[in-house]
Structure 1
């Protein structure tokens, strides 16, 4: 849609003064007293909602559209584009992935903002948890899995620790930690190990 012609009420009128030497971008628009925006207000509204500027001005006269119902009609017309399906590459672009991400492990969800990148997994076998027998009569041990996970809309990853044990729902057995929480827990674990092993406080 082309921009509206330059008139005394529309932006781009060449800066000529209107009657009474009023600034045209500050001139009040005639209309409903409860909703009476200036031209500058409409320009700001167009920018805020990423609308073409012409959507808030009459195509023929260039006069601002002042009533709420008319502006609503203009806005819905401007945004009346079909919603199209998104491919996986559009949901989680590889170019935006953090350097630690394992792209083969990218997680996709029916809810777009729940999609996320994940790192490779660090696993530790758990001797005190229930493992799973395989078809050839071998025991596959339970384990603790740890990995980084970051949803696309978040600024930093979280650390997930999952207990993978036979008969236990992994979603229920998952701890999700911020980086600060994980660091505090890691220091606490190392301190507990030192105490348990009788490491003294003396400095050699």
Structure 2
């Protein structure tokens, strides 16, 4: 148990659920590394949208104020993990994971074979397992999870539509990125 993580892996019903509960770390790190590697305006726009999906879902929770499911009986062997103290609708993880999934899945087809198939299976599997984990850990009801799916889908489609409709967004982001990169790294 640490300061930043109140639960240790042995507190979880399985190692898989522990890993899935850490999705925010793996996804954020992967996104940051992709930005640094590509320095691409569309990747940066996508990352801003992903951050927006998470923060706006948290704001929406405060407006909706739908409680999380009650904790399991303390004597149960389900899990030592107890529900969080914030509201549950929509699930922030479900919103963010769905934003990633809906935004990225159309681009998988541009990967060379067999990476396109493997990428599609991997992305879909990670998304579905992430949604399943929120229920299994007792953090959310299915309604809260599907609320996150609906909200994440809306945000991803809207975010991509704006980027495609207004090409100057990409050119401005790329211009700023190139300036910042050249000033920092020469």
TM range (shorter): under 0.3
TM-score (norm 2): 0.24
Of structures 1 and 2, the one with the larger relative CO (CA 8 A, separation 6+) is: 2
Bigger CA radius of gyration: 1
Greater per-residue strand proportion: 1
